Structure 1
Amino acid sequence: MQILSRAASERISIGSEITLCVIAVNGTSVRLGVEAPRDISVHRDEIYKRIRDRNTGRLASGELAKD
């Protein structure tokens, strides 16, 4: 993991297509803006895990149903 320090309005580039911008820092809360192509999904971690678990569950029950 790379740890970077940025102040409000500063940016971080990930490759040539993704940019993170620090919108605001309020105590322990940080607001980020994400610029990415539409074909790249951007989710908070807890939402991503929920989507992944739901999709994995569907695959598992589909595979069990075939047996």
Structure 2
Amino acid sequence: MLVLTRKSKESIQIGDDIEITILKVEGDQVKIGINAPKHIDIHRKEIYQAIQQENKQASETAIDLLQQLKKLKKEK
């Protein structure tokens, strides 16, 4: 992990397309702004993890349904 120290209004550049700016530091909270291309999804980590879990459950359900359909087709 790269650890950087930044002050309010200072930025970090990631590649050519992503800029992270420290907007405000208040107590134990830091407000950041992220400039990135629209095709890049940006989520809080807990939201990202929830999305991944939902996707995993949806794919497992789809596989189960396909297996059930295959089984029904064999019975006919």
Query: Is TM (by shorter chain) over 0.5?
Result: yes
Deviation (angstroms), 1:64:
1.9
Higher relative contact order (CA 8 A, sep 6+): 1
Deviation (angstroms), 1:66:
1.5
For normalisation by structure 1, the TM-score amounts to 0.95
Q: Share of identical aligned residues, percent?
A: 33
Secondary structure of 2:13's partner?
A: strand
Deviation (angstroms), 1:56:
1.1
Deviation (angstroms), 1:61:
1.1
Unmatched tracts of structure 1, length 5 or more: none
1:9 aligned partner, one-letter code:
K
Structure (1/2) with the larger helix percentage: 2
Unmatched tracts of structure 2, length 5 or more: 68-76
Distance (whole Å) between structure 2 residues aligned to residue 52 and residue 15 of structure 1: 25
Deviation (angstroms), 1:8:
0.3
Moved over 4 A (4+): none
Q: For the aligned residues, what is the CA RMSD? A: 0.7
Distance (whole Å) between structure 2 residues aligned to residue 60 and residue 16 of structure 1: 37
For normalisation by structure 2, the TM-score amounts to 0.84
Aligned residues: 67
